[in-house]
Structure 1
Amino acid sequence: MRASLETADIAIVALYFVLVMCIGFFAMWKYNRSTVSGYFLAGRSMTWVAIGASLFVSNIGSEHFIGLAGSGAASGFAVGAWEFNALMLLQLLGWVFVPVYIRSGVYTMPEYLSKRFGGHRIQIYFAALSLILYIFTKLSVDLYSGALFIQESLGWNLYLSVILLIGMTALLTVTGGLVAVIYTDTLQALLMIIGALTLMIISITEVGGFEEVKRRYMLASPNITSILLTYNISNTNSCNVDPKPDALKMLREPTDEDIPWPGFLLGQTPASVWYWCADQVIVQRVLAAKNIAHAKGSTLMAGFLKLLPMFIIVVPGMISRILFADDIACINPEHCFQVCGSRAGCSNIAYPRLVMKLVPVGLRGLMMAVMIAALMSDLDSIFNSASTIFTLDVYKLIRKSATSRELMIVGRVFVAFMVVISIAWVPIIVEMQGGQMYLYIQEVADYLTPPVAALFLMGIFWKRCNEQGAFYGGMAGFVLGAIRLILAFIYRAPECNQPDTRPSFIKNVHYMYVATALFWITGIVTFVVSLLTPPPTKEQVRTTTFWALKNRNVKENTAKGELYKVQEKSILKCNENANHIIPNGKSEENIKNIKPEDINLLVTCRDDSNPVISVSHSEVETPVDCYSNGQAALMGEKKHEEETDDGDRHLKFIDWFCGFKSKNMNKRAVREIEEETVCLQMLEETPKVKLLLNTGLVCVCSLGIFMFVYFSL
């Protein structure tokens, strides 16, 4: 019997929605969303606390509450390995990938690939792949799991609930941009942790403690006799009713069907490198940090928070099986369909069933708000990040002359387009079998993302890697992965009481081993082709590799010196008595005495009420054209009066006669040098801060290793 919402529950859910929308409109009112960087990167003004919370809640969506808890109910501790693996990969993001991204000065991951390798082939390939994964895997999983919770716990109309949630999430994203997303994520992280911890305490108390959870889980088998008497089942056969013998171990034997340890370490980890270090949803949040110290602090915070899902999601899922074994561990497809509407299994209802049976009235509304928070946080993250990729990596290539206003409109329209696609996808989700779909989505990522992870790793760590090698290596991995994915879709796993007639290379080769092969094949092809073709240019590797970070102090001084030289060259003089005038209105003496703190990112205005805005460019030029992520402008730059055609010709003649470059070329050179200077400043850390961050790095990685060992012995 399904529980219904009481007045107190409705009040709590309504209060939650009011708070979320207020935060979104506050972000819309207070922060600058009229620029590309303001909308897509939150003006690079976020602190480590807000970003760390956003990283956590963007990952822990409704599919985690449904999927992680369901996998915990079905197979024990194994699924927690993804969480502890993420804990350490987040630090790889903070200490290796993000410094390179900042040094490169990029908005999006496809933009980084284009800057690193040149051309647009890899950029377009990665952008298209990311959008496909966002729309047809992440959105489908979120919508299915969120709808499943609503249907199981409240009995609301499925389509109406999904449309309402998508609509509110899209409204939040469109109005506030990334600022609204990060601030609402902070609220939702707090709400999610409080609610999930509350349920964990209630459920563990119900069964008598953590040790009792482990003991009773191994005994949590359904009562077949009672089920046959209760349900009208024609098929009396049963299968997979007992917990697996190694359910209390995390990393398992090489032939295990859940998590074979060689496949997880060598195959699943590269796929996770893509998600945590090169996926726009995650990286975009860290790029919104004020500087590298806040970026690293956010990954440390998110890493510590990733210790929680094992205890607040997986363990409650196991407890749900203990308490409701006859439903969660259904005995055959016919019984499963009667219990939860899916012939594949009913483990996915473990968490909502626990909520509706154990949580008292009032607190149930809080848990409902937690689930809505998880769903909305994941959806708004996907909406914002997919909009960023489409706007800056696809639309900008089609319309190179697009204005900043046009890009903002296109970004918002694309969110609306994704809403329509998401709603149209709902009937397909409902018709697909729940358990099979969730596992299938995990396979999709492992078949398509390891080649991308290989390209990013080789691009960052190997200077000799070039565009030809990366393209053909990526294509080789993609084609092989796509073929394996199609075969997996054609040869679906049979129901538990049916013989498995699939080919042996489909049936006996775990998808993690396939991911391992794809990763190394991509790397080998990239390596060979890169050596057989010309090396990349110096400009392509100057700021886009890990090794570019080593000599940044020397380069910073060089960049400052070059800045002054370029400014001096722009002085229009033909003799010693000429007036020294700088084109942007500053005197030569002022330019020489300018301090580093006088150079500000357009996307990082220190005074939000008075942002630095360049007005020396035509309306056609956009922040993407002139001020890519990390580019700077001198404070106080004044608008130049339009010059007559005759004056332009005279100035060009004087420039030519005196041997100077044109003013536009000088301005472009100044901007490039200013960009590099400010990017280098963002990478600076004081010794005390560096020591503190490195200490945190050692602590969080040690905890991750300890958890792996503890739950695998």
Structure 2
Amino acid sequence: MDFFTIATFIFFTALVAIISWWITRKEDLSTNSGYFLGGRSLTGGVIAGSLLLTNLSAEQLVGLNGNGFAGSLTSMSWEVTSGLTLVLMGLIFLPKYLKSGFTTVPEFLEERFDKGTRNIVTALFLISLSLVTLPIVLYAGGIAVNSLFDVASLLGVTPEQSLFYVIAGTGLIGGIYAIFGGLKAVAVSDTINGVGLMVGGLLIPILGLRVLGDGSVMAGIDQLVTSHPEKLNAVTGPGNVPFSTIFTGILLVNTFYWCCNQQIVQRAFGAKNLVEGQKGVLYAGLIKIMVPVMLLFPGIIAFHLYGSEIGHQDLAYSYLVARVLPKSLLGFFGAVLFGAVLSSFNSALNSASTMFCINVYKPIINPNIDDEKLVKIGKVFGTFITIFAIFVAPQIAKAPDGLYAFMKSIMGYFNIPTLVVVLMGFATKKTPAIGAKIAIFFFITAYTLYNFVFDLSIHYLHVYGILFVCCVAIMLVAGIISPRKEAYKQKDVGVVDLTPWRYAKPVSIVIAMATVYAYVIFSPLGIVDQPEYQSRFLIITGLFAVLTFALFRVTLILQDKKSKAAPTIESLDGENMANE
């Protein structure tokens, strides 16, 4: 690795830090809202950028491209269906969250159920962040950066030692961002890094196609479509994500991730009003549908180019990058990749500190603590959990089905029970706290039996769906047997303006249509195994474009008529869309 590569890496990494500091230097970080929610001043663009970069990190680049290398486009269901769940967040969950001015998801559960439910879900969040999310982000980032820069050779150490050094360095730098900068510094750096990640992430498949096509991108696309066409089949192609799981576990996991996961929703909690929150969430939903170009196509291209040379699927992405990216851009891309790792790590760490302070330390240990001291406690906790994650991360190296599959299967212990109680908390008025607690413990027990006792030939994502239905039934029965004495009624605390975005529903229609379009294109109905795939692509794209535009206009006209007919009706749930 030459001096220019190192210099450009340091330059771009430092540039992001300096810009983030400059923008946030006057922020008041001594208050609860200022440190944990960015002063409730985040705009749509910042929210979208932070959401995307919190999500699109090294574990995505490494894990999903590994799935593409070993399987096919079936794994794109994790990304493409995220658009639909972001629609749910924008139209249903976010207005409710902002109405009560919550800082954390467990705060809602305390208001809806009781302190015991809040404590259980907080524990689930903190365990998942400290034992799974933070270590996996560091491990995946360590693999990518270590391989990209050949750190072992640079430092003259073993691969295992170099991996630990990269993990430790990433953890320490990320900790400084999150611990001393608060949410706004994290969100601003996310947005800046997000632009670089989109540019760099799209550049890799283009360069890979150029190599595959012997200098021609179009020839590379032709090779990608006609050779091993099963790799582009998102419906029945090979892989560890069957198409049927979209309608069970994948939909549930994505609904949790985008609507209930503190690491994600905290960005939207910091919105200056509902309009900006909905913009950010739905902008992110539109972009997520296009993300497989970055997160799966490089892995498939690596299969075509270097399939026999790559020993493990999780090495596919960094192997491709190291061979197709010009040396002059290596430093820039390394900085972008490093920024993506920092983003996810910062976001998870900030969320962990927020929940510990708001849901554990203040209500249980010191109810009378002032905001300034509480922020200091959050920084101490963030430091501790950073050190813990650094030492746990290297232990993830032996995941048998690849990093991404490992992460999703383990996270089931935490995400599905949380989704059940949050969803039922909003959907029902008299379901009691005991129902929520029984449902959580039932899920954890049943999923443990599935993993370690009973040898069932059922995909874990289908098990999620089955257990989800069981948990919902448990809570409904509890509501019949022992209902709350008083029906739950949510209060509007007036923290932010709840006027909805005029284009929220029309944009949601576009997201839904784009999701269907992606699955039609990457199936035998579209370009897969079709000799005349170019003409089919143009015809299908044209039909979907016309239909989507028509639905967009019809939705906008109908809601405007409804808004004019009843201008005084409060539109909390997005029923009446007002102009900005």
TM-score bracket for this pair, using the shorter chain length: 0.7 to 0.9
Q: Which of 148, 169, 178 is equivalent to 2:183?
A: 178
Name the CA shift for 1:447/1:408 in 2 (closer, same or farther; >3 Å).
closer
1:381 aligns with 2:347: yes
1:315 positional shift? 0.7
Q: Provide the residue aligned with 1:110 in structure 2.
A: 106
1:473 positional shift? 1.8
Name the CA shift for 1:64/1:214 in 2 (closer, same or farther; >3 Å).
farther
Query: Are 1:355 and 1:367, in contact at CA under 8 Å, matched by a contact in 2?
Result: no
1:194 aligns with 2:199: yes
Query: Are 2:212 and 2:223, in contact at CA under 8 Å, matched by a contact in 1?
Result: no
Q: Provide the residue aligned with 1:704 in structure 2.
A: 515
1:365 aligns with 2:349: no
1:359 positional shift? 0.9
1:16 positional shift? 1.9
1:248 aligns with 2:243: no
- Counterpart AA for 1:277: C
Deviation sequence 1:361-412 (CA, Å, 0-9, x none): 1211121112101110110001101110111111112211222122111100
Q: Provide the residue aligned with 1:682 in structure 2.
A: 497
- Counterpart AA for 1:300: L
Query: Are 1:448 and 1:482, in contact at CA under 8 Å, matched by a contact in 2?
Result: no
Name the CA shift for 1:92/1:196 in 2 (closer, same or farther; >3 Å).
same
Distance 1:295 1:87 in 2: 15
Q: Which of 374, 385, 388 is equivalent to 1:421?
A: 388
Q: Which of 16, 19, 22 is equivalent to 1:20?
A: 16
Residue aligned with 1:541, SS: coil
Distance 1:536 1:287 in 2: 30
1:206 positional shift? 2.1
Q: Provide the residue aligned with 1:263 in structure 2.
A: 245
Distance 2:224 2:251 in 1: 32
1:705 positional shift? 2.0
1:449 aligns with 2:432: no
Distance 2:23 2:448 in 1: 41
Residue aligned with 1:682, SS: coil
- Counterpart AA for 1:135: S
- Counterpart AA for 2:120: Y
Q: Provide the residue aligned with 2:2 in structure 1.
A: 6
Q: Which of 282, 304, 316 is equivalent to 1:300?
A: 282
Query: Are 1:316 and 1:351, in contact at CA under 8 Å, matched by a contact in 2?
Result: yes
- Counterpart AA for 1:711: F
User: Where in structure 2 are the equivalents of 1:525-536 lying within 5 Å?
Assistant: 525-535=474-484
- Counterpart AA for 2:366: R
Distance 2:317 2:381 in 1: 33
1:110 positional shift? 0.7
Query: Are 1:281 and 1:382, in contact at CA under 8 Å, matched by a contact in 2?
Result: yes
Distance 2:236 2:138 in 1: 31
Q: Which runs of 5+ in 2 are unaligned?
A: 152-161, 525-580
Query: Are 1:466 and 1:536, in contact at CA under 8 Å, matched by a contact in 2?
Result: no
User: Where in structure 2 are the equivalents of 1:412-491 lying within 5 Å?
Assistant: 412-430=379-397, 432-433=398-399, 435-487=401-453
Name the CA shift for 1:27/1:408 in 2 (closer, same or farther; >3 Å).
farther
Give the percent of matched residue pairs that are identical in Structure 1 and Structure 2.
27
Distance 2:208 2:294 in 1: 10
Query: Are 1:213 and 1:319, in contact at CA under 8 Å, matched by a contact in 2?
Result: no
- Counterpart AA for 2:383: A
Q: Which of 459, 465, 473 is equivalent to 1:510?
A: 459
Q: Which of 156, 164, 170 is equivalent to 1:159?
A: 164
Q: Which of 199, 205, 212 is equivalent to 1:207?
A: 212
Distance 1:308 1:361 in 2: 27
Higher relative contact order (CA 8 A, sep 6+): 2
Distance 2:190 2:299 in 1: 24
Distance 1:479 1:214 in 2: 49
Q: Which of 111, 125, 140 is equivalent to 2:120?
A: 125
Distance 1:246 1:457 in 2: 37
Distance 2:68 2:219 in 1: 16
Distance 2:353 2:452 in 1: 28
Residue aligned with 2:208, SS: helix
Name the CA shift for 1:434/1:362 in 2 (closer, same or farther; >3 Å).
farther
Name the CA shift for 1:198/1:257 in 2 (closer, same or farther; >3 Å).
closer
Q: Which of 500, 505, 508 is equivalent to 1:694?
A: 505
1:434 positional shift? 6.6
Query: Are 1:448 and 1:481, in contact at CA under 8 Å, matched by a contact in 2?
Result: no
Q: Which of 139, 143, 155 is equivalent to 1:144?
A: 139
User: Where in structure 2 are the equivalents of 1:211-226 lying within 5 Å?
Assistant: 212-213=220-221, 215-216=223-224
Distance 2:227 2:509 in 1: 39
1:302 positional shift? 0.5
Q: Provide the residue aligned with 2:547 in structure 1.
A: none
Q: Provide the residue aligned with 2:261 in structure 1.
A: 279
Q: Which of 369, 391, 402 is equivalent to 2:369?
A: 402
Distance 1:295 1:420 in 2: 33
Query: Are 1:77 and 1:248, in contact at CA under 8 Å, matched by a contact in 2?
Result: yes
Q: Which runs of 5+ in 1 are unaligned?
A: 221-244, 329-335, 337-345, 488-502, 544-675
Distance 1:147 1:44 in 2: 33
Name the CA shift for 1:181/1:148 in 2 (closer, same or farther; >3 Å).
same
- Counterpart AA for 1:537: E
Mean Cα deviation higher: 153-162 or 316-325: 153-162
Distance 2:436 2:396 in 1: 35
Kindly name which structure, 1 or 2, has the bigger radius of gyration based on alpha carbons: 1
- Structure 1 or 2: more helix by fraction: 2
Superposed CA RMSD in Å reads 2.1
TM-score of the two chains, using structure 2 as the length reference? 0.84
Q: Provide the residue aligned with 1:311 in structure 2.
A: 293
Deviation sequence 1:214-237 (CA, Å, 0-9, x none): 7557757xxxxxxxxxxxxxxxxx
Distance 1:306 1:677 in 2: 32
Name the CA shift for 1:194/1:386 in 2 (closer, same or farther; >3 Å).
same
1:541 aligns with 2:508: no
Query: Are 2:74 and 2:233, in contact at CA under 8 Å, matched by a contact in 1?
Result: yes
Name the CA shift for 1:437/1:35 in 2 (closer, same or farther; >3 Å).
same
1:28 positional shift? 5.2
Q: Provide the residue aligned with 1:592 in structure 2.
A: none
Residue aligned with 1:307, SS: helix
Q: Provide the residue aligned with 2:92 in structure 1.
A: 96
